[in-house]
Structure 1
Amino acid sequence: MKDVQLITRQLGKHILEHIETATSINILTSFIMKSGVRYLHKALKEAAERGVEIKICTGDYLFITQPEALDLLLSIDDTIEIRLWKSNGTSFHPKAYLFEGDEKECLFVGSSNLSKSALMNGVEWNIAVSNEKEVFKEAMNQFTNTFYASQTVPLNRETLKLYQQRYEQFHRKTPNLAQTWTKAEELDLMLPSENEYVPNSEIIHDSKASYNGVIKPRFAQLEALEELNKTLEEDYHKALVVMATGLGKTYLAGFFAQNFDRILFIAHREEILQQAKKSFQIIMPDRTFSIFNGNVKENNGDAIFASIYTLSMKKHLETFDSKEFDLIIIDEFHHAAANSYQRVLDYFDPRFLLGITATPDRNDNKDVYAICDGNVAFRMDFLEAISRKWLSPFKYFGVYDENDYSQITWLGNRYDEEELLQIQLRDDHAERILQVWIDKKQTRTIGFCSSIRQADFLSNYFNRKGYKTVSLHTKQIGVGRKAAIDQLEKGELDVIFTVDLFNEGVDIPAVDTLLFVRPTESLTVFTQQIGRGLRLHEGKQHCVIIDLIGNYRNADIKMSLFDTKPSKKKGKIEPVVPELCEINLDIQAINLLEEMMKKKQPRKEYLASAYFSLKQELGRRPSYLELHLKGAVESVQYRQEFSSYFGFLERIDELTPFEKDVFNRYKPWIEETEKTGMAKSYKMVVLLAMLQKGKSDWYKPVTPTEVAPYFYQYLTETEYRKRIDFSDKASKKLWEYDEKGVSKLIATMPMTKWSGSSKGLLSFDNGILKLEFDIDSEDEEALFDMTKEVCEYRLHYHFERKAKNI
């Protein structure tokens, strides 16, 4: 094939040829029709069975993509990764097909969406570009950025159901469009296109606080490094460090990395990679350093700084040996529960894994403690750091926002942008923001907005009133990020209005005012943005935080972020902040927050809503452990409210009729397994040992001697478990396996104690532990599955809780 070729018909034949020899396939198309999926179905299935890495991204713009097409796409192979771009009414119109092979790459880009007519007989123009490595590399980089953009969601059975509902609702309102597509399914509407997602690749280098010419650990880094070195001495292999933004997590990682020869540093943003490389070079000038991302594939340095999106691709991942790295560092570790990170973590086997983050908790449906085996080596939040004078104090002004957010559609993780803009893009609202800002501001402000259009609107409004501001975002071409930051630091700009550019990876210590003019949709993001203003800086006495508070979701919850001593008065907003800090709330804002707390969604409905959100994310019913690890609320609330997880599932009709019958027949046992007290893990370890015998034998009587080998192995094979539950006087002497000693421990503690507290469900007589109820043979498998699910959850929760308290 020529290097550049115009294809005006039968693009599909070219695509089928490339699918046959590709090692990776990446498809980005505005719309997908079932005819197009049928056309490629066999070829994609065969490619997936060969182990080819396949990613497909499409959009919901005008709801032209057919649900039946997505359903057919999902059925091809479970290994195909599919994501749906949520256009929110904004044009989404790319069409690109990218193929990598052993010897060449090829990119097709043009007018053809994924329908049979577009691929075969329609009037289409497409360009094929091959043997142009730089062009292909840039295309792959842009595809990856789009594929993993925050506007996309994974396609699974649950998100497909939601799309189907919205598709049907949309076409009921616009039946003519539906008829057009019913009559002429193969035609692609050529709708006005815009350049909707243009990642700004300009790298911003952080203005690091001076180390006075001597690069040594300081402040929190000293304590954190001491704790990390202890984990090495105690033969741990994983650890998590939780440090507030501004305390020097990257430098800490660099100091710790001096203990290792070959290092892999992973992040999800270019800014973080470049800054980390620069920091490591300062600390270890005698080492070599490499970048591994969409544009550069250097892999020979002592330390490699890799983009997760590039590294997680099978082709790139397998260029490294699984044991190649002594140390793997994952920055912004709260992202590590994502599939791309899990793929990398499952592949590598380093001597040590270090996660660093400022926001590890479950505010955004993720829990990362388990990835580091519950070993939190060091923790310091921004409130404690302020108390130690390592971060700037703040003066928080909660300003009442008169807008009514209760009628705006909630899309699961954000408000509908068009509906939100109707109340945001008003001159009277902008004037209110301007006056509040003038009254409370200091010298340099970052304004956090909820959309590009709001940022542009406010910037224009402020400029018309005589202030110097810019709107900075991914589509901005008039001013670069570095130039804008330089102007802000020099006092040449009053405000930078942005959306999410400064959440992670970029710090501007001179910023002394933060302006929040967006609903708080994510507490994790809100915490990250607060951190943008807390860096110490010469002449900066404190950071002013101006926050518009309306009746939006999480408005009342976010107050807890500033509170060192939560009030015992239910329904009262009385935060206690560190010395030198202030909380100032409008009376109307206080009244609103307290009213929201009183009227909060009933707990049972709230728990059900969180459950169904996770089910959509996973595409299936989550296990109890998954609900704990990825759910939006603390899992213990399900037991508190419903006595057991399966009691909750029964209540919301998520059990099959047979599962309901089994649950109700053995309800006392399920609830006992959920509720039995556990100062140590021993009861659940005994139960897990019983479950190892299989579905038809797990409930049969056992002796301490039978359980002893598994019990001992479980509690000693993983370091953090040994440290937590096998370190008292009674168990320390058993670190060298002693069958009689372990058996005696089991008999004395879990078996005797559990039988005594189980209300007759268990007995332990004559050295035999026995379940004192009958199990019908047809119920064996379902009860086994329920029991195991609860057991595995309780063990994980126990060790995680203990690890946090070390």
Structure 2
Amino acid sequence: MSPFLRIPSSSWIASNALAFAVADLYPVSHGHTLVIPRRLVATWFDATPDEQRALFELVDDVKRKLDAELSPDGYNIGINAGEAAGQTVMHLHVHVIPRYRGDVDDPRGGVRHVIPGKGNYLANRSSPLAQGGTDDPFLAHLDPLFRRATDIAILAAFTQERGLDLLEAHVFAALAHGARVRLVTSDYLQITSAEALRTLLDWMGMVATLAEARELSGSFEARIVEIAQLPKGIPSFHPKSWRFAGPGFGAAFVGSSNISQPALGSGVEWNLRVEKDRDPDAYQAIVLAFDRWWNAALPLSPAWIDTYAKLPRPLPALLPSSSPEREDPPPKPPEPHALQREALAALRRSRESSHPRALVVLATGLGKTWLGAFDVSAWSVENNQRPRVLVLAHREELLVQAAKTFRRLSLMADARFGWFVGDKSDLSGQVVFASVQKLSRPDHLARLTPEGFDYVIIDEVHHGTAPSYRGIIDRLRPRFLLGLTATPERADGADVAGLFDDHVAYRADLGVGIQQKHLVPFSYFGLEDDTNYGSIPFRNRRFDPSALEEAIDTDARLERMFRAWQEHPGQRTLVFCGSIRHAEHACAFLKEKGVRAASVHSGPTSAPREDAIQALVDGTFDALCTVDLFNEGIDVPLIDRVVMLRPTESPVVFLQQLGRGLRSASGKTRLVVLDFVGNHRVFLERVRTLISLGPEPTNLRDFLEGNQAARMAPGCTIDLELEAKDLLAKLLPPQGGSPAEQAYRELREVRGQRPRAGELYRMGYSLKKLRDTHGGFFDFVASMGDLDATEKRVLDVAGEFLRELEVTAMTSATRW
């Protein structure tokens, strides 16, 4: 019996009276489908005319589905007839194979590739020589190979920094799809720059870091051929080869291109291509030659580079300006913008006032990482020494970003970087990049010398009240500790500012960034959401994931979203979804509407993240549907629309998602925000968050009841449908008391827990009336019924002491 006839109809993709279609179990491309007659028919030539017509009618149906779901760039439609033609199942089946640009190096010839080496007769007649120059740059030949290869081996006698800049995106894209990349260079004539070798070492640290985060699955290693260790009688070392291998192919270039800007770009460099299937002996010789030098080379290490950097480099100075080994100077670091200059001045004043730690709030897009690097340079000038720096973050991508930033500082151009993440455990660097998750483990924490670092940066410190962070912070005693965040308020109400002695040195949130035109204004459209959120379990400030998915993943909701999508257009859109199923559904829905979209998430069916981002940047995609992956870290300034297709419970995450689209870009005038507003207190909090971004506070009740327009930054608008406003107004607690008391009630209602005095103070509310009426803030909290039994006993015993503390605070803070 045919194995195809054992496939249950529930697994069919499509069917008609005489045929059915199923996904191929061993697909050669994403979406590969088989169309099969219901009757056991051996080959195409044994089928009846009706069966043949039915098969190709179904081929058309399958194509329409694949077009909507995957948007391929072409198709191969194939039928094997007989064992000699490759047929392995003697039941007629038509292959429908979607094809994508770049899935093979040169697709010309199509089905001719059934016999290796005979596929592209056009390519056979064309020259295999890459000649370089402006019309034939070498990197254009390498790009499709980087996209396909799973094994990449590069041997270049000389390596320069700008050449690595050109290769970086290609190398890391290959690593993201699981490639092993090996690179060998040499110290011949000291032409390879120490800066380039440090970059290669940085790459190894970055790869280990991103592998730990599962952002990539490949591996990268660089080695150095030390000329002094070569056997006597070898006068020079000048090889160049670039080899790529993957499923079903192998190709190599041998010629004159080293790793430099001219050699990969417009320099006239000859490189001859060798194909594994056409010239297997030559290809194998390249494999063996590379392996020989790989085994002879030394692992690249900081100590080796430090020694090498001290050697004289006489030859480059003698090279003419047109030499392939001469490169453009590295780009200079950016100058601090106005808000960064203000923050740097505030940090300097903090140190002058003997503050050992400070918190800085800079909205997404205002350059937190660069601010930290700039202030390290400022600290160096103030103290006349280069500091030892520790950079801490909870996400590995942030450490990679920080390393790239610090390397561009002239102060750190030759610094030794250490990595404490994944399988890297180096705390000895001048600058150490460490993941909180690893460093917080007791055995690792014990290795941390309290005074071992002069300057410590904690990125996205709104996570800092977690025990993992607290253990590290309590262990360290640096000369200065800087906390950076775009959103200092924790969703759980924990006091982040308290970690920094309540010293917020500088704050420029989204409203300030928009007002100062460093960020684009937004137009927020709040759509009524008729989902009954009251029936969805809500525990620990989160909706039950399964119940939430069931409630919000509906065609009706997507149709409502798409009407707003058409009314408020954008060019590049991020759609934040509630689950993988939700993202896949939203993506398929948009494709059916003619939107070029992809879903990006942590599941196996996700589009490759880096490829999808690049496709959004270059306009190949119109939208990405994602699940939490892009809350932080993504930097695509061209995004001009975000869609909140899920009820984000945390105002911190809501601001992070909003911030993905606020970065300025040429021709971009605003960000469109499409949001759903339903009958739950989490929506009250996000609207409160929005109206707090203006230069002056706006009362939430007055805004919802139409008594006050939101005071927003120039160009920003908030447009809530009337039905949505009515939903939210019904959720407000009863009125009464001073503005601070009303804010207390509203925050307690929204969050399910009481706000802190310091939080109300930082929001701009005076607490004097509360004190005058109740005697003290905690007495007021007690009158609201918000102290537990233990807290009541503390107030009874220490109430007078607490009131005196409030009086002391009152003398130093005008709002108290």
What residue number does 2:703 align with?
572
Q: 2:215 aligns with which of 201, 204, 220?
A: 201
The correspondence of residues 448-463 of structure 1 with structure 2, limited to 5 A, is: 448-463=576-591
Offset at residue 587 of structure 1 (A): 2.6
| Distance in 1 separating the partners of 2:757 and 2:217 | 39
Shift of 1:320: 2.4
1:389 corresponds to 2:403: no
Q: Which residue of 1 aligns with 2:659?
A: 531
Change (3 A) 1:328 1:212: same
Task: Kindly provide the CA deviation profile for residues 355-377 of structure 1, in whole angstroms up to 9, marking residues without a partner as x.
Answer: 11111135541221121112222
Q: Which has the larger radius of gyration?
A: 2
CA distance in 2, matches of 1:339, 1:229: 30
Distance 2:729 2:634 in 1: 35
Distance 1:641 1:363 in 2: 28
User: 1:351 maps to what in 2?
Assistant: 479
2:416 is the alignment partner of 1:288: yes
The 2-side partners of 1:305 and 1:636 are apart by 45
1:178-189 residue pairs with structure 2 within 5 A?
Answer: none
Report the 3-state secondary structure (helix = DSSP H, G, I; strand = E; otherwise coil) of the residue aligned with 2:703.
coil
Distance 1:457 1:641, change over 3 A: farther
1:233 Cα deviation (Å)?
A: 2.7
- AA partner of residue 397 (structure 2): E
Q: How does 1:50-449 map to 2 (within 5 A)?
A: 200-202=214-216, 213-258=332-377, 259-260=379-380, 261-283=387-409, 284-449=412-577
Q: For the Cα contact (< 8 Å) 1:515–1:546, is it kept in 2? A: yes
Q: Deviations over 1:525-576 (max 9, x none)?
A: 1111111101111221211111111122232332333332344694433212
Which residue of structure 2 lines up, in the alignment, with residue 89 of structure 1?
Answer: none
2:720 pairs with 1:594: no
- Name the amino acid aligned to 2:346: E
Describe the shift of the 1:247–1:214 C-alpha distance in structure 2 as closer, same or farther (beyond 3 A).
same
Which of 581, 593, 610 aligns to 1:465? It is 593
Distance 2:782 2:485 in 1: 34
Q: C-alpha distance in 1, partners of 2:463/2:811?
A: 22
The separation in 1 between residues aligned to 2:585 and 2:558, in whole angstroms, is: 8
Measure the CA separation in 2 of the matches of 1:798 and 1:476: 57
Give the 3-state SS of the residue equivalent to 2:588 in structure 1.
helix
Per the TM alignment, residue 611 of structure 1 is displaced from its structure 2 partner at its CA by 9.7
Counterpart residue identity of residue 391, structure 2: F
Give SS of 1:457's match.
helix
Aligned residue in 2 for 1:776: none
The 3 A distance-change label for structure 1 pair 613 and 539 is same
In 2, the alpha carbon distance for the partners of 1:523 and 1:635 equals 24
C-alpha separation in 1, matches of 2:421 and 2:768:
41
Q: Deviations over 1:89-133 (max 9, x none)?
A: xxxxxxxxxxxxxxxxxxxxxxxxxxxxxxxxxxxxxxxxxxxxx
TM-superposed CA distance for 1:275, in Å, is 0.4
- Return the alpha-carbon distance in structure 1 between the equivalents of residues 633 and 517 of structure 2: 22
Question: Contact 2:521–2:716 at 8 Å: present in 1 too?
Answer: yes
Answer whether contact 2:347 2:358 (CA < 8 A) is retained.
Answer: yes
Equivalent pair of 1:611/1:627 in contact (CA under 8 Å): no
Query: Structure 2 matches for 1:545-624, cutoff 5 A?
Result: 545-563=673-691, 564=694, 565-567=696-698, 570-573=701-704, 574-597=709-732
Contact map agreement 1:405 1:550 (CA 8 A) in 2: yes
One-letter amino acid of the counterpart of residue 523, structure 1: P
Distance in 1 between the 2:408 and 2:666 partners? 23
Which residue identity is paired with 2:408? I
Please provide the CA RMSD for this pair. 3.9
- Counterpart amino acid of 2:634? V
Paired AA for residue 583 in structure 1: I
Q: Identify the residue that residue 624 of structure 2 maps to in structure 1.
A: 496
Give unpaired runs (5+ residues) of structure 2. Answer: 1-211, 219-329, 381-386
Cα distance, 1:652 vs. partner?
A: 4.9
**CA separation of 1:611 and 1:520: change in aligned 2, threshold 3 A:** closer
Q: Distance in 2 between matches of 1:554 and 1:569?
A: 14
- The residue type equivalent to 2:499 in the other structure is I
C-alpha separation between the residues in 1 aligned to 2:333 and 2:352?
Answer: 27
CA contact (8 A) 2:732 2:746 kept: no
Query: Which moves more between the two structures, 427-436 or 240-249?
Result: 427-436
CA distance in 2, matches of 1:598, 1:370: 29
The one-letter amino acid paired with 1:645 is F
Instruction: Give the letter for the 2:618 counterpart.
Output: K
Letter in 1 for 2:349: K
SS in 2 for 1:392: coil
Q: SS of 1:556's equivalent?
A: helix
Structure 1 length-normalised TM: 0.53
The AA in structure 1 aligned to 2:426 is: E
Letter in 2 for 1:237: P
In terms of mean alpha carbon deviation, does 211-220 or 642-651 score higher?
Answer: 642-651
The residue identity in structure 1 corresponding to 2:703 is K
Distance change (3 Å), C-alpha of 1:530 and 1:568: closer
Q: Deviations over 1:636-691 (max 9, x none)?
A: 9997789663675587596659x97x79xxxxxx6xxxxxxxxxxxxxxxxxxxxx
Structure 1 gap ranges (5+): 1-197, 205-210, 615-621, 664-669, 671-782
Say which SS state the counterpart of residue 292 (structure 1) adopts.
strand
| 2: CA distance, partners of 1:525 / 1:568 | 22
Change (3 A) 1:552 1:656: closer
2:668 aligned partner = 540
The structure-2 alpha-carbon separation of the partners of 1:510 and 1:571, relative to structure 1 and needing over 3 Å to count, comes to same
- 2-structure distance, mates of 1:594, 1:272: 39
| 1:593-626 deviation per Cα after TM superposition (whole angstroms, max 9, x unaligned) | 3333367999898787799869xxxxxxx9x999
Tell me which amino acid in the other structure corresponds to 1:303. V
CA contact (8 A) 1:365 1:630 kept: no
Structure 2 counterpart of 1:274, one-letter code = V
Contact 1:572 1:594 in 2 (8 A): no
Distance 1:498 1:800 in 2: 47
Residue 52 of structure 1 is matched in structure 2 by none
What residue identity is the alignment partner of 1:577?
M
Query: CA 1:787 to 1:511, structure 2 compared with 1: closer, same or farther past 3 Å?
Result: same
Secondary structure, counterpart of 2:424 in structure 1 = coil
**In 2, Cα distance between equivalents of 1:636 and 1:523:** 28
- Matched letter for residue 480 of structure 1: P
Give the conservation status (yes or no) of the 8 Å contact 2:684–2:750: no
The amino acid that maps onto 2:404 is K
From 635, 646, 657, the counterpart of 1:518: 646
Name the CA distance, whole Å, in 2 between partners of 1:795 and 1:587: 45
Secondary structure at the residue paired with 2:512?
helix
Alignment-mate amino acid for residue 532 of structure 1: R
